[in-house]
Structures are given as structure tokens and as C-alpha cells.
């Protein structure tokens, strides 16, 4: 089928920009809590269709509009944490959010320009070039300038059959399947008979392969199931750091921990007690002794001051036969550290905004040993970086994440974050314990299923069991690089075809 000239047709001009903006906003509904996962295929297909008749410059604008829609609709909850709880002025809050959304949208602008400028029209673009380039874009934004892998397409599929590809190729592998099917939809619309047959075969392969992989366990049980208890303190975020509330907070966590029954492991959320662990040693010793009398170990989020009296760490404290720490490695920019010059820090101090940095934990930390199992720990947002966790996962029998999503109020953020945790369990094929300050605390199975969840926004003790597992999945063994290499080769092959053909 002959394509219209660039910039012409019904997918052009302001209409195309509005359509791209709306398609990007619709994509945010593919993720939790809405779960409309078909949009993770349909919305990229819409943008690909818009690019069919665009010039490189127009494609960049349309890609930018798509990104603004996705991240504007998908991360608006940052306003709650920055202004509502962080007490930043409205103008500064909006400036930071606009800057983040613009940075994320710029990736899609670059993608659009490259796609139209370098890729050939037709099947090479639909089946190789665009899926490869889009995948590389998604992967790059997950690590460049600290990275923001939120709303990667693959996360939409924690409840679809495609989730069974996660142990093979990770979340980006599931994203790649979304993009290949988006290209297949375009091929069904614009391609000839042979191309359409190939598109149908591709879609059948994606879903048929997922069905075949559903029966593959990848890992194997090790030892007996371990009873666990997750403690959800539900301390209101605007009350958490008030000095007068320290003792009531300690009392609440002590009382809830005493309700852990026969649990061999008790898990408390990120920075559970709002004080340096160094300053509450007697309280921690009391918790430890009480747990040990019941033959239980404790893993709890804590803030600690290093022995050098200079470095602060966001940590996971293990109270077992001994005391151990895991220090958070992937810190959140402008929340846990401030990548700004000294004079800006001084200004932030005058504005009475947080400006002190945490120190990132070192590479090569070891799993935490508790309740007879080795645990791969993550703290809050760092569970979004699955590739970074592979060495810890390979040495562990189960996963544990402590977080405090109360920063985002009653918004979709907590459910998006839970969906990310579920993907980590899927990739590793291991159980995952998730302790959150006011929800969603959960016991997640190796297939990403929610085995148990605590009621949100109220104190609770969530009981469950964890089955330790051994062995590695293909993803934990090899990480993102095989898929990234395939994406690069696919995009390069399509670009080579364009160069041989010359301008359209």
C-alpha cells in the first residue's frame, strides 16, 4: 500500500499531536491499578501509525506529546510527595514534575526522529526497526542519569499470559513482545498478504510461547516452608517524623511484633522507627530479645549513621543471631541525595527543604541471613532496577523489599510500585515479602501472584509462608544484555535496509 507523503493525511498536524498526547495518556491505564494491559500494545501501535506519514521533525514532536501524556498521567502523584509531604512550594513542585516529564518525553521525541529518519517504510520498520529502537529507548531511560524505569511496557503484564516470558528475558523482554505485536497490528493494517501472515504468526508465537512457558518452573524448592509475619505500622506520613510521636511509634511496632505468632521471620517497613538506629539501640535490643524468645528473626528498615560519623545510610537491619545491615545502593535523586552545586544546597536550606544526602551502599553486598534462608534485599524504589539485583538474587532463596509508599497518598503510585515488585518475583521465580508502611504489604509468590495482602492504611500483621527456592532463571543468569543486543541488531539491520534503498 502506498503511504501518504510526510505531513499529509488524517494522521498529521495538530490532530496527530493531540492523538499522540491522548494515546500516551491512555497508556498509563495499562498499568496498575487499572490493569488494562491491551493498551500496552494498542497505544504504541497508534504512535507507530502516526509516524507512518510524518517527517522526522513532526515525528519528534508527536513522540514528545506521547511521552508527556504517558508520564503526565502516570506520575502526577509526585505532586503529593513533593508538595503535600515534602512541603516544597507549588512553583518548585511543578517545575520538578515538568522537568521529569519533559526528560522522559524527550526519549520518545528522539525515538520518533530516529525512526522516521533512519528506518525504512514497511515490514522492516514494523517488525525490526521500531521494536528494536523503542526497546533500546526504554532500556536507556531505565539507567541514564540514575534512571527512571517506571511505566516500562512489560510491567503491564503481571496478570496476562505474557508474564511467563519474564523469567526468560525480564521485564524488557515482555516490553519487546508488546512492541513486536504493535508492529504486527500496523502490518495487518498496511501490509500485503505475506506480511500479514507473518504478523499473525508473530502474535501467535508470542502468546503460544507464553502458554508453553507457563509450565516451566525454572527454580526448585529448597527446605521446608517458613512462616513469616509482615508488620504494617500505618504511621501517617505527616506524623511520622514528629519528635513527640517517636515513643508511640515504638510502642505500636512492639505491640504488632508481639502478635507475630509462630512466625520465624518478622519484617518491618522502610525506616520503620523514625530515628537513627544508633540512637535507639536499647529499643532494638528489646525487639530482638522478644523475637528470639519465640525463635524468630527480624528484618526492619532503619536509618543509620556510619562509624565515621559522617555517612548516613538507608538500610535494612537484620536482627538474627547477630546484627547485619544491607545499605540501599540506588538512591532517589532529589529525595535521598541532591545532585546540585553547593550554593543550591544553601538555598534549599534557607527554604527549609531537605538537603542532606544519604550515602549509597557499596556494590557487592551480601544477602541477609534470617529464619534459615538467604534473602535478596531491596529498599523502596531500588526494586525497579532488576538487572542490578541479579547477583544478590542468584545467591538467595527468597526476596524481601521494605518500602514507604505513604509518600504518595491515596494514588496509583503504590499499586504501580507493587506491580514492579511482582515482576521481580516473576523474573527470579522466587517468593517475595513486601513490607510497606501503610500498604500494600504483601506476600508474593514466584509466579507473581499475590498470595496475601494486608488491608491498606491501617495497622496490621500479615501472616504467610515463604518457600525458599534454588536455581537460576535465564534472566537472572544473563540479565538484560542478550535482549539489548538483539534490539540493537534489529534496529541496525533495519537502518541498513534503509541505506541500501535510499530516500523514499
Whether 93 and 144 map to the same domain: the answer is: yes
pTM of the model: 0.95
Whether 35 and 180 map to the same domain: the answer is: yes
Is 87 inside a domain boundary? yes
Q: How far apart are CA 100 and CA 87, in angstroms?
A: 19
Known catalytic residue: 240?
Answer: no
Q: Which of 138, 380, 382, 427 is catalytic?
A: 380
Q: How far apart are CA 489 and CA 500, in angstroms?
A: 16
Q: How far apart are CA 226 and CA 220, in angstroms?
A: 15
Q: Extract the C-alpha cell encoding 228.
A: 513469616
**DSSP H or E stretch at residue 186:** helix 166-190
β-sheet bridge partners, residue 231: 461
- Per-residue pLDDT in tens (0 to 9) along the chain, 504 residues: 444 444 455 566 889 999 999 999 999 999 999 999 999 999 999 999 999 989 999 999 999 999 999 999 999 999 999 888 888 889 989 999 999 999 999 999 999 999 999 999 999 999 999 999 999 999 999 999 889 999 999 999 999 999 999 999 999 999 999 999 999 999 999 999 999 999 999 999 999 999 999 989 999 999 999 999 999 999 999 999 899 999 999 999 999 999 999 999 999 999 999 999 999 999 999 999 999 999 999 999 999 999 998 899 999 999 998 899 999 999 988 778 777 777 776 776 656 555 668 999 999 999 999 999 999 999 999 999 999 999 999 999 999 999 999 999 999 999 999 999 999 999 999 999 999 999 999 999 999 999 999 999 999 999 999 999 999 999 999 999 999 999 999 999 999 998 888 765
Q: Which of 43, 240, 328, 382 is catalytic?
A: 328
DSSP string, 187-255: HHHH--HHHHHHHHHHHHHHHHHHHHHTT---SEE-SS-EEEEEEE----TTTTT-GGGHHHHHHHHHH
Q: End-to-end alpha-carbon separation of the chain, Å?
A: 14
Q: How far apart are CA 94 and CA 89, in angstroms?
A: 9
Whether 355 and 489 map to the same domain: the answer is: no
Q: Specify the pairing of strand 323-327 against strand 442-444.
A: unpaired
Nearest of 183, 176, 91 to residue 132 by alpha carbon: 176
Known catalytic residue: 380?
Answer: yes
Is 307 inside a domain boundary? yes
Cβ(136)–Cβ(142) below 8 Å: no
Q: What is the CATH number of the domain that holds 276?
A: 3.60.110.10
Q: Which of 250, 270, 382, 427 is catalytic?
A: 270
Whether 262 and 391 map to the same domain: the answer is: yes
Provide the residue range defining the domain that includes 135: 13-217+479-501
Whether 176 and 228 map to the same domain: the answer is: no
How many domains does one find in the chain? 2
Whether 424 and 489 map to the same domain: the answer is: no
**Count of CB atoms situated within 10 Å of the CB of 320:** 19
Whether 211 and 230 map to the same domain: the answer is: no
Amino acid at each position: 500500500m502506498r503511504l501518504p507523503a510526510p505531513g499529509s493525511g488524517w494522521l498529521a498536524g495538530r490532530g496527530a499531536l493531540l492523538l499522540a498526547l491522548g494515546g500516551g495518556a491512555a497508556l498509563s491505564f495499562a498499568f496498575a491499578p487499572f490493569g488494562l494491559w491491551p493498551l500496552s500494545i494498542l497505544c504504541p501501535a497508534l504512535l507507530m501509525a502516526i509516524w507512518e506519514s510524518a517527517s522526522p521533525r513532526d515525528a519528534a514532536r508527536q513522540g514528545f506529546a506521547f511521552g508527556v501524556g504517558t508520564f503526565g498521567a502516570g506520575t502526577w502523584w509526585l505532586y503529593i510527595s513533593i508538595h503535600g509531604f515534602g512541603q516544597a512550594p507549588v512553583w518548585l513542585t511543578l517545575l520538578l514534575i515538568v522537568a521529569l516529564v519533559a526528560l522522559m518525553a524527550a526519549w520518545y521525541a528522539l525515538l520518533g526522529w530516529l525512526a522516521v529518519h533512519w528506518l525504512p517504510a514497511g515490514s522492516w520498520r514494523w517488525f525490526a526497526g521500531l521494536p528494536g529502537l523503542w526497546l533500546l529507548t526504554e532500556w536507556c531511560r531505565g539507567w541514564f542519569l540514575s534512571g527512571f524505569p517506571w511505566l516500562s511496557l512489560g510491567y503491564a503484564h503481571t496478570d496476562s499470559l505474557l508474564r511467563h516470558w519474564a523469567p526468560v528475558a525480564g521485564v524488557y523482554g515482555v516490553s519487546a513482545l508488546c512492541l513486536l505485536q504493535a508492529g504486527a497490528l500496523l502490518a495487518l493494517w498496511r501490509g500485503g498478504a505475506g506480511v500479514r501472515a507473518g504478523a499473525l504468526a508473530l502474535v501467535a508465537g508470542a502468546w503460544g510461547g507464553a502458554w508453553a512457558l507457563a509450565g516451566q518452573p525454572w527454580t526448585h524448592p529448597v527446605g521446608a516452608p517458613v512462616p513469616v509475619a509482615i508488620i504494617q505500622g500505618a504511621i501517617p506520613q505527616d506524623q511520622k517524623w514528629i519528635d513527640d510521636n517517636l515513643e508511640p511509634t515504638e510502642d505500636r511496632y512492639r505491640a504488632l511484633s508481639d502478635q507475630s505468632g509462630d512466625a520465624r521471620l518478622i519484617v518491618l517497613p522502610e525506616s520503620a522507627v523514625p530515628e537513627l538506629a544508633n540512637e535507639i539501640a536499647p529499643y532494638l535490643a528489646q525487639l530482638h530479645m522478644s523475637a528470639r524468645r519465640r525463635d524468630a528473626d527480624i528484618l526492619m528498615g532503619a536509618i543509620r549513621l556510619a562509624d565515621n560519623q559522617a555517612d548516613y545510610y538507608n538500610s535494612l537491619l537484620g536482627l538474627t543471631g547477630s546484627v547485619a545491615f544491607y545499605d540501599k545502593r540506588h538512591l532517589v535523586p532529589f529525595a535521598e541525595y541532591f545532585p546540585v552545586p553547593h550554593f543550591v544546597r544553601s538555598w534549599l536550606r534557607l527554604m527549609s527543604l531537605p538537603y542532606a544526602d544519604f550515602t549509597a551502599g557499596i556494590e557487592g553486598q551480601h544477602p541477609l541471613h534470617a529464619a534459615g534462608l538467604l534473602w535478596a534485599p531491596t529498599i523502596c524504589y531500588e526494586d525497579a532496577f532488576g538487572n542490578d539485583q541479579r547477583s544478590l538474587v542468584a545467591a538467595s532463596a527468597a526476596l524481601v523489599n521494605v518500602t514507604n509508599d505513604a509518600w504518595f497518598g491515596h494514588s496509583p503510585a503504590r499499586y504501580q510500585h507493587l506491580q514492579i515488585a511482582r515482576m521481580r518475583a516473576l523474573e527470579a521465580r522466587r517468593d517475595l515479602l513486601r513490607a510497606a508502611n501503610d500498604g500494600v504489604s504483601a506476600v508474593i509468590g514466584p509466579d507473581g501472584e499475590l498470595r496475601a495482602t494486608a488491608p491498606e492504611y491501617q495497622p496490621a500483621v500479615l501472616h504467610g509462608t515463604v518457600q525458599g527456592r534454588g536455581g537460576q532463571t535465564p534472566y537472572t543468569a544473563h540479565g538484560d544484555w542478550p535482549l539489548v543486543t538483539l534490539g540493537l541488531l534489529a534496529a541496525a539491520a533495519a537502518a541498513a535496509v534503509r541505506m541500501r534503498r535510499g530516500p523514499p
